[in-house]
Structure 1
Amino acid sequence: MGVNPGIKAAIGIIAAVLVAAALAEASQVFAPLAAAAFIIAVVWPIQKRLQRGMPKLVALAITIMITVTVCFALASLAAWGFGRVGHSLLTDIARYQAFYEATVAWLDGHGVSVAALWAEHFNVGWMLRATQYVTGRVNTTLSFWVIALVYVMLGLLEVDDIRRRIERLENRTAASVLLGGGAATAAKLRRYLMVRTLMSAVTGLLVGTFAWVTGLPFALEWGVIAFVLNYIPFIGPFIATLFPTLLAMTQFESWPAVFGVFVCLNIIQFAVGSYIEPRVAGNMLSISPMLVLFVIFLWSFLWGLFGTFIGVPITLAILTFCAAHPSTRWVADLLGGADQVKPGKLQDS
Structure 2
Amino acid sequence: MTPSEPPTRTPLRLSVVRDVTIVLTLVVLGLYAGASFLIPLTIALLINVLIIALSDRVIALTRAPVWLANLAAVTVVLAGLFMITYILGSQATQFARTAGTYESQFDGVINRVTGLVGNDVTSFVRDNLISIDMTSVARILLGSATSMLNQFFLISLYVAFLMAERLAFRKKLRIAAGNPVTGAELSSVLDAITFSLQRYVGVKTFISLVTAGISYSVFRVLGLEYAETWAVLTFALNFIPSIGSIIAVIFPAMIALVQFETIGPFLIIVFGCGTIQFLIGNFLDPALLGRSLNMSTFLVILALTFWTTVWGLIGAFLSVPLTVCILIIFSHIPALRPIAVLMSLDGRLADDVKSHGPDRG
Q: What TM-score range do you get, normalising by the shorter chain? A: 0.5 to 0.7
The change in CA–CA distance for 1:68 and 1:238 in structure 2 (over 3 A counts) is same
For residues 281 and 146 of structure 2, the distance between their equivalents in structure 1, rounded to whole angstroms, comes to 32
Q: Which runs of 5+ in 2 are unaligned?
A: 1-8, 113-118, 353-361
Cα shift readout 1:192-227 (whole Å, capped 9, x = no counterpart): 123323432553466468779xx8445995894565
Residue 144 of structure 1 corresponds to 151
- What amino acid is the match of 2:351? Q
The change in CA–CA distance for 1:313 and 1:135 in structure 2 (over 3 A counts) is closer
Residue 326 of structure 2 corresponds to 318
TM-score by length of 2: 0.64
Cα shift readout 1:150-199 (whole Å, capped 9, x = no counterpart): 11111111121111121222256753553233222222222112332343
Deviation at 1:265, TM superposition (A): 6.3
For residues 38 and 83 of structure 2, the distance between their equivalents in structure 1, rounded to whole angstroms, comes to 26
Residue 345 of structure 1 corresponds to none
- What amino acid is the match of 1:193? V
Q: Secondary structure in 2 aligned to 1:163?
A: helix
- What amino acid is the match of 1:199? I
Residue 271 of structure 2 corresponds to 264
For residues 300 and 311 of structure 2, the distance between their equivalents in structure 1, rounded to whole angstroms, comes to 16
Residue 169 of structure 2 corresponds to 162
For residues 268 and 44 of structure 1, the distance between their equivalents in structure 2, rounded to whole angstroms, comes to 33
Higher relative contact order (CA 8 A, sep 6+): 1
For residues 21 and 270 of structure 1, the distance between their equivalents in structure 2, rounded to whole angstroms, comes to 36
Residue 6 of structure 2 corresponds to none
Q: Which runs of 5+ in 1 are unaligned?
A: 342-349
Deviation at 1:278, TM superposition (A): 7.6
Identity %: 16
Deviation at 1:23, TM superposition (A): 0.4
Residue 349 of structure 2 corresponds to 338
Cα shift readout 1:71-115 (whole Å, capped 9, x = no counterpart): 2344577789x79x98xxx8xx99x79854646899xx9999x9x
Cα shift readout 1:248-294 (whole Å, capped 9, x = no counterpart): 4453546xx67745753684487368756885687431531413343
1:251 to 257, 260, 265: 260
For residues 72 and 111 of structure 1, the distance between their equivalents in structure 2, rounded to whole angstroms, comes to 43
Number of residues of Structure 1 aligned to a counterpart in Structure 2: 319
TM-score by length of 1: 0.66
CA-based RMSD of the aligned residues comes to 5.2
Residue 329 of structure 1 corresponds to 337
Asked if 2 retains the 8 angstrom alpha-carbon contact of 1:39 and 1:152, the reply is yes
The change in CA–CA distance for 1:40 and 1:121 in structure 2 (over 3 A counts) is closer
Residue 69 of structure 1 corresponds to 79
The change in CA–CA distance for 1:176 and 1:324 in structure 2 (over 3 A counts) is farther
